[in-house]
Amino acid sequence: MSRTAGRRRRGHGAEDTETGSRDDRKRRTRRALLDAALDLLEGERSFSSLSLREITRVAGITPAGFYRHFSGMEELGQALIEDSFESLHQMMRDARKDGLPPTHIIRASVAIFLDHVQSHRAHFRFIAKERYSGSSAVRLAIRKEVRLWVGEVAVDLSRFELLKRFSSEDLQMLAGMMINAVIAATELLLDAEPGDAAAVTRIYETVEKQMRLLVLGASLWDSSLTGGNATPRPA
Amino acid sequence: MSRTAGRRRRGHGAEDTETGSRDDRKRRTRRALLDAALDLLEGERSFSSLSLREITRVAGITPAGFYRHFSGMEELGQALIEDSFESLHQMMRDARKDGLPPTHIIRASVAIFLDHVQSHRAHFRFIAKERYSGSSAVRLAIRKEVRLWVGEVAVDLSRFELLKRFSSEDLQMLAGMMINAVIAATELLLDAEPGDAAAVTRIYETVEKQMRLLVLGASLWDSSLTGGNATPRPA
DNA sequence: CAAATCAGTAAACGACTGTTGACTGAAAGT
DNA sequence: ACTTTCAGTCAACAGTCGTTTACTGATTTG
């Protein structure tokens, strides 16, 4: 009743629906769907609790219209993952091309990454939430990205004179610990209020300290003392 | 139609419903509800995607019966958290009482914890899933537990002669890194096939290596070199 | 033994869900 | 100028959901 206003009622998603070629408009609607999902995930909700209808409502289209873009929620989840990591990869390529300062490479890299996190909160919130709670396809995709990242860092580390005597396995472990620390910092960053500069500073400082501790440990490391006697029990 | 069998149809939850006092039966049904939720969480599902009806179905009671035990799903979530951490605390108390070997305390502690994880997979899967994707109440509860744990470990570490010169802040950081490594190992453990002894052994060995690296780093640490110049940017 | 308690049942409610098929109308193709 | 394509609409579907209400019947209580 009283649907007085213009025919098309849209949500926050696609604003100027009227311009551009058909492909452009389609791309815009797709973006609106992705953004709608990210918007809803900014709150307490988890991806698996989002409904298709809810997302189309926020994006400003009809439920049935959803299927012109994705076969279902699972596929939208995949798209969100690709979306999130693509901007990260882009950033990392740029950073590599621009060249890092030779002296504080680690610190600079960490800072660049955390800056990126802060300017893409929604993406990383999604990743953090889905890393352990998402569908197995999404979880695997995230794990693959992390594994690749660890590999890259291990290669970078292998160029340090100090780390020449590291076995490649131990290099992976060191890289893994560094990335674990950065991921932990990321999660703290996402939990902190975005405007809380003091908290942000503390997080940056802490992770830098952690890196320093790891480098110190590495300087005394002897890869030939590997393994030793572990204490595992099957259950 | 054709509901031929006995009146009460129960799921996997409460088996011998017929015995015990009224309180006993109530407790058993409550357990059945918690177990039903944990069962469902063993799969791909996340807690927020579980429905109340679904849980009562698995537990073998009527939807309305749920409310005799919990006011809603949120309260059940809280109960699951308490349940999970209670057995952990119990185990830690026991371990402390029994006394750890003086020589390899860290290694032994880590192994004991990971053993506990393996024998309580469902609980820890729940915690891992909800740590970043759950309701804020649940997330806060988990974070509180982790923070407390870090504090305890920091106190334990302060007794080492090697760490006497650590500032309390740096001790917290070291303890935090150790626990981060253990949590990362926990997550690997939960993702591994329970029977995969080789994978389990690798995880134990890796985390022990990580501990050794941290201890090495600590041996060179100088708390007076704290802070330095961090590189944070508000956004 | 009668009365009170209360864990669990049964049925109904309105709301929301994913998915469908037939449609419309503007853009793209020819 | 015509036909084709196709993003998005609309209406309807069969389910599931959380919650409420009145109830039942065994156990506890006095």
CB-CB under 8 Å, B208 with A228: yes
Q: Which domains does chain B have, with CATH numbers?
A: 17-69 (1.10.10.60), 73-220 (1.10.357.10)
Could you give the CA distance from residue A176 to residue A186 in angstroms, rounded to a whole number?
Answer: 15
Q: What is the band of B10 on the pLDDT scale with cuts at 50, 70, 90?
A: very low
Which of B132, B170, B189 is the best residue to mutate to test the A interface, defined by the most A CB atoms within 10 Å of its own CB? B132
Q: Which residues contact B40 (CB under 8 A, 6 or more apart)?
A: B50, B54, B55, B58
Q: Which residues of A touch B135 (CB under 8 A)?
A: 44
What pLDDT tens digit does each residue of chain A (235 aa) get? 333 233 344 455 545 567 788 999 999 999 999 999 999 999 999 999 999 999 999 999 999 999 999 999 999 999 999 999 999 999 999 999 988 888 899 999 999 999 999 999 999 999 999 999 999 999 999 999 999 999 999 999 999 999 999 999 999 999 999 999 999 999 999 999 999 999 999 999 999 999 999 999 999 999 887 654 444 444 4
Q: Quick: pLDDT tens for B19-28.
A: 788 999 999 9
Query: How many residues are listed for chain B in this entry?
Result: 235
Q: What is the rounded distance in angstroms from the CA atom of residue A74 to the CA atom of residue B12?
A: 30
Whether pLDDT at B228 is above 80: no
Give the pLDDT confidence score for residue B79 in this predicted structure: 98
Total residues belonging to chain A:
235
What is the distance in angstroms measured between the alpha-carbon CA of B12 and the sugar C1' of C4? 33
Residue B227 has pLDDT above 80, yes or no: no
Protein residues with beta carbon less than 7 Å from any atom of strand D: A 7-8, 14, 22, 25-26, 28-29, 60-65, 68-69; B 18, 21-23, 51-54, 63-64, 66-67, 72-73
What local confidence, expressed as pLDDT, does residue B2 receive?
Answer: 33
Look at residue A81 and give its three-state secondary structure: helix
Are the beta carbons of A187 and B154 closer than 8 angstroms? no
Query: Closest approach of chain A CAs to the CA of B112, in angstroms?
Result: 9
**Residue A3 confidence (pLDDT):** 32
User: Under a CB-based contact definition with an 8 Å cutoff, are residues B41 and B122 in contact?
Assistant: yes
The structure tokens 């999604």 sit at A126
First to last CA, chain A: 64
> Which residues in window 37-66 of B are less than 7 A from strand C by Cβ?
60-65
pLDDT in tens, B196-221: 999 999 999 999 999 999 999 999 99
What is the reported pLDDT for B197? 98
The mean pLDDT of chain B is: 90
When pLDDT is cut at 50, 70 and 90, the band that residue B229 belongs to is: very low
The mean-pLDDT minimum among A64-78, B48-62, B94-108 falls in: B94-108
What pLDDT does residue A204 have?
98
B60: left (phi over 0), alpha (psi -120 to 50) or beta: left
Task: Say what the pLDDT of residue B100 is.
Answer: 82
Residue B142 pLDDT > 60: yes
pLDDT reported for residue B1: 33
pLDDT at B8: 42
Q: Do residues B222 and B178 lie in contact, with contact meaning Cβ atoms separated by under 8 Å?
A: no
DSSP per-residue letters across chain B: ----S-S----SS---TTSS-HHHHHHHHHHHHHHHHHHHHHSS--GGG--HHHHHHHHTS-GGGGGGT-SSHHHHHHHHHHHHHHHHHHHHHHHHHH---SSSHHHHHHHHHHHHHHTTHHHHHHHHHHHHHS-HHHHHHHHHHHHHHHHHHHHHHHTSGGGTTS-HHHHHHHHHHHHHHHHHHHHHHHHS-TT-HHHHHHHHHHHHHHHHHHHHHHHH--GGG----------
Q: What is the pLDDT of residue B230?
A: 43
Q: Which nucleotide is nearest to A66 (CA to C1')?
A: D8
Report residue B13's pLDDT band, with 50, 70 and 90 as the boundaries: low
CA of A40 to C1' of C21 (A): 30
Cβ distance B209 to A170 less than 8 Å, yes or no, reads yes
Q: Give me the pLDDT at residue A102, please.
A: 81
Q: Mutating which of A132, A183, A203 best tests the B interface, going by the most B Cβ atoms within 10 A?
A: A132
CA distance linking residue B100 with residue B106, whole number of Å: 9
Q: Please give the protein residue whose CA is closest to the C1' of the nucleotide D27.
A: B22
Average pLDDT over residues B4-31: 69
Indicate yes or no: CB of A173 within 8 angstroms of CB of B209. yes
Q: Which is more confident, B75 or B19?
A: B75
B14, pLDDT greater than 90: no
The three-point CA angle A202-A205-A211 to 5° equals 140
pLDDT at B235 over 80: no
Taking C1' of D10 and every protein CA, the nearest residue is A62
- pLDDT value for A232: 47
B8 is near strand C: CB distance < 7 Å: yes
Cβ contact B53:B42 at 8 Å: no
Closest nucleotide C1' to the C-alpha of B24 = C7
Work out the end-to-end distance of chain B between its first and last CA atoms, rounded to an integer number of angstroms.
64
Interatomic separation, CA of residue B20 and C1' of nucleotide C2, rounded (Å): 24
CA A32 to C1' D14 (Å) is 30
pLDDT for residue A13: 56
Do the chains contact at B119 and A235, CB–CB below 8 Å? yes
Angle, vertex CA A212, rays to CA B105 and CA B107, nearest 5: 15
| Distance separating alpha carbons of residues B179 and A97, to the nearest angstrom | 36
B132 neighbors A133 (Cβ within 8 angstroms):
yes
Cβ of A133 and B136 within 8 Å? no
Q: Which of B209, B210, B221, B226 to substitute to test the interface with A, most A CBs within 10 Å?
A: B209
Query: If DSSP codes are grouped into helix, strand and coil, which group holds residue A19?
Result: coil
Over residues B110-122, the mean pLDDT reads 98
A94, A100, A105, A111 alpha-carbon torsion, rounded to 10°: -50
